[in-house]
Structures are given as C-alpha cells and as structure tokens.
C-alpha cells in the first residue's frame, strides 16, 4: 500500500490548474480552490482509479511538519504549501491539479 501525505492549510485557496504560479493574477476566475477541497477531489479520483494508496492531510503546523524532515525544511523556508509526499519522499509543493496529481502518482508507483 502506498502512502500519500499532504501538508498544507485546509482553508488556503490555491490554484488547481496552474500548479500554483498565479501570483501575477493570470488565473481564470474560479480556478482557485481550498486545499481541503483539492485533497478531497484527489482522494476521490485516486479511489476511482483503483490506485492502492492511503491519503492523509496534515495541517502545516510545527507539530505535524516534524513528521518529514524534507517537508519541514522546505515549508520552514518559504510559503510553498501544500507539500505532497509519496511513500516518504517529497514529490511536489505548491498548487496542484487533482487529476494531474493522480497521473503523477500512477507514474511514480508504476500503476
């Protein structure tokens, strides 16, 4: 069984279609969603695809960040939440597309 951990801020609105690089205002209206919503969509799509993985969301607090040294180091230096960890290894940070993340997980676990 694969483990996916997502560290972020549940209520933070992030870009879901442009990998988080919308600080310049280039996003279309409605593309930003809360991290919590994106995690729920991702978890649903993962199960729908039959990918053997457990997904956990952790609020990015100091207590939770110490679970993974790489995540702790990155998120302590800059606001790059959410950080996504697959099987203990930092995979991505910043905004994400639930569909794109499912495809990336498939590649990484050779599914």
pTM: 0.86
User: What tens digit of pLDDT does each residue of 14-34 get?
Assistant: 877 654 444 555 555 557 899
**What pLDDT does residue 83 have?**
96
DSSP string for the chain: -EEEEEEE-TT-EEESSSTT--TTS-SPTT-EEEHHHHHHHHHHHHHHTT--EEEEEEE--HHHHTT-HHHHHHHHHS----EEEETTEEEEES---HHHHHHHHHHHTT-
Q: How many domains does the chain have?
A: 1
Domain of residue 74 covers 2-108
What CATH number corresponds to the domain at position 31?
3.40.30.10
């Amino acid at each position: 069984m694969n483990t996916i951990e997502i560290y972020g801020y549940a209520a933070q609105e992030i870009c879901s279609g442009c990998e988080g690089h919308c600080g310049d205002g280039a996003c279309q209206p409605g593309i930003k969603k809360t991290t919590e919503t994106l995690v729920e969509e991702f978890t649903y799509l993962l199960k729908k695809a039959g990918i053997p993985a457990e997904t956990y969301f952790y609020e990015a607090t100091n207590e939770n960040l110490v679970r993974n040294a790489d995540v702790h180091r990155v998120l302590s230096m800059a606001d790059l939440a959410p950080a996504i960890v697959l099987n203990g290894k930092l995979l991505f940070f910043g905004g994400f597309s639930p569909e794109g993340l499912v495809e990336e997980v498939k590649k990484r676990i050779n599914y």
